[in-house]
Amino acid sequence: MAGLNKRRASAQLEQAGLHLERGEWSTVASLVQPVLDAGIDTPAAFMMLGEAQRQLNQGDEALATFERGLAKHPGDAMLEGRVGAVLLDRGEAARAAEFLSRASKKLPRDSQVLTTYAGALLALGRAEDAEAQLTRALLVGGGDDTRLVLAITKLRRGQHAEADKLAAQVESATSGTPMLHWSARMLRADLAVLRGDAAEGLRIWREADLAGYLGAHQLARMAHAAALAGERAIADDAIERRLAQEPTAEDLLLFAELYNLRGEPQKALDAIARAEPLARPNDESAWRFELLSTRGRTLRLLGRRDEARAALTAALAMPEAQLPHIGAAPNVDLGHIAMEEGDFEAAQAAFRTALERDAEEPEARRALELIDKRLQWRQTVESTASERVGAAQAEAEAMRRRYLVRENEVERLKREVKRLELERADAQAQAAKVQRETSARVRAELEAREKDVEGKAEENLRAVLSPDRCPERLWNMLRVAERTYQQALYTELPTAAVAVLFSGAFERSLIELFVQPFGAWLDEKALRAKFLEQGVRERRGSRVEYFDRFTESFDREFDARPPSMGEVARVLDRRQEKYLQVFQQFLTERYDVPDSFWAAFSSFVTWAKESLRDPVAHGHLELDWAGFKQFREQLLFEFDGAKPGALPRLLLARRP
């Protein structure tokens, strides 16, 4: 568009943003493309055009747009997240996870990025890691799409009741899109089939098909549900529709299970042979487990027991065999093989293992009842009349002998009882004495240790800090942390329990020494407006975007939270950049330290955040004790080759 200046381009992008919120993707693309063609290539422009192309099913064009944006703006977190989303749509989960991992670290509070990252991890078979990301996404405001992906994750991990509860929440939500609603319904169809209600699952699949929301990749699952519900015509129709397209390896494997249900194992074996050379799903391990399980059942139904046993044994050696529900099937088939070979004890063990994986598995339950009856019958047959007579004779002889020795045994027992009573009384007296002495000694040791811990903590802090120069709240936090450290030297207290106190005190010190004093200094010097103006990255009408959240936290219009450790570390590291000139002036006026100190201190803050604060905040309780001691030493006692540590040196260097 000739003559498109920055002001007009900005207005056009704002207009495109309104259409984007309404889902008018063609309009968004027609508004944004001229802006990019005119050379006004902001990250927002690439974001809107790429997302419009993605929603218009132009996956290749969307990926190219986002990659062009990243080439222009390397490291942009939102663009990295969109590249990951498109790659995940294309089935390239491994590459998608790389981009989304970087984006999630830069945007830890963006629920959409975290949800998409979880989807990539789930596609790679990392269900536990995916669930952790989804839990974080819900904590920062994730919506129904996050709950739906979490429901799928629960299903993958065999937690069917929790998966159904989450899917029901998404299905009943009034704020979601029709696609989200139907996706939740179809997930509940899968769960209905898994709990044995194939008719209900088929009903949902057919409703989704009539509504136009049944994808090609879901036809195989509808066929499976129809077969279980006894609707052969519907199953055949769904199979023919899918085979007329390009069935995936997963589709063919599901058809093989269906043929086994119909008693057509040779067709099942042919379907497995077609599935194996096709492209594997991203979750290679789960695919391999399903393949081995289905092949084992098929070979068993064909009477090829040795080959079936080999496939089933290989499946049971995989981690998926330990999952609830999922791990039951191979054990059921091994139990049937053992029954056919007459090894009822092995069959009984296999079916019991299957019921441990899935207590409602009907095939295992019925087979186990039959085996129990068979074993009871065999035991009854083996217990012949002659054996019972021999047992009775032996019992009679034993009774006779017991009667003969009874008199002597009674006297001996009386003497033994008297001796034991005397020994018990003596032992009770000794135990009471030992208990009294032990309790007094332990109580004295604990009191002495408490005094020693309190005194040592106070002595260590006063050696490097003066309560007069340290804010009272910070002093108390450090005293509690140091006291806990001293206790940890004598007890098995986890490193994380001490680290969380020290990292909290350190984070509070950054607020006390930099954030709050800097805000007061800005007001005192009347420099707040100048500082904010220098920190503006971009203006969008009445909206302002700053270079970082540190600058944003001093804009009272935003009502933002105080900056985090990482944000303080970044501005200390970038203090000489133009937009931080006012902050550099504050550091020079208020702290009598050389400039090299700030470079070392910013590196220390970053290291402390990544090594201690973040792992503790994310629930990682196993921390390196040596690394934590190094952090404590540099914080309080010796930093950058000089004494005292970083925090006392800053408190001593503060100018009034």
- Chain segment 456-508, per-residue pLDDT in tens: 888 888 888 878 878 888 888 888 988 888 888 877 778 888 888 888 888 88
Mean pLDDT across the stretch 71-83? 91
Averaging pLDDT over each range in 173-182, 271-280, 369-378, 624-633, which range is the top one?
624-633
Residue bearing the bigger pLDDT, 398 or 229: 229
The pLDDT of residue 203 is 92
Mean pLDDT across the stretch 292-316? 88
Tokens of 584: 């550099």
Closest CA to 94 of 373, 282, 318: 282
Mean pLDDT across the stretch 62-74? 91
577 DSSP 8-state letter: S
Q: Is the pLDDT of residue 405 over 70?
A: no
Q: Which residues contact 306 (CB under 8 A, 6 or more apart)?
A: none
Tokens of 134: 């989804």
Whole-angstrom Cα distance, residue 644 to residue 653?
A: 12
Cα distance between the two ends of the chain: 59
Altogether, the residues listed in the chain come to a count of 656
Whole-angstrom Cα distance, residue 102 to residue 80?
A: 7
Whole-angstrom Cα distance, residue 521 to residue 585?
A: 10
Whole-angstrom Cα distance, residue 237 to residue 94?
A: 35
pTM of the model: 0.47
Strand-pairing partners, residue 536, are 546
Long-range contacts of 287-292 (CB under 8 A, 24+ apart): 287/249, 287/250, 288/318, 289/315, 289/318, 289/320, 289/321, 289/326, 290/253, 291/253, 292/318, 292/330
The pLDDT of residue 584 is 92
Averaging pLDDT over each range in 55-69, 317-331, 375-389, which range is the top one?
55-69
* Three-state secondary structure readout of 469-534: CCCHHHHHHHHHHHHHHHHHCCCCCCHHHHHHHHHHHHHHHHHHHHHHHHHHHHHHHCCHHHHHHH
CB atoms within 10 A of CB 233: 8
Number of continuous H segments (helices) and E segments (strands) in the chain: 34, 2
Closest CA to 497 of 343, 341, 621, 373: 621
Whole-angstrom Cα distance, residue 222 to residue 255?
A: 11
The pLDDT of residue 375 is 75
Strand-pairing partners, residue 579, are none
Least confident interval from 95-99, 378-382, 573-577: 378-382
Tokens of 552: 């944003």
Identity at 255, one-letter amino acid code: F
The answer to whether the beta carbons of residues 213 and 182 sit under 8 Å apart is yes
Whole-angstrom Cα distance, residue 73 to residue 41?
A: 9
The pLDDT of residue 2 is 46
Q: Is the pLDDT of residue 101 over 90?
A: yes
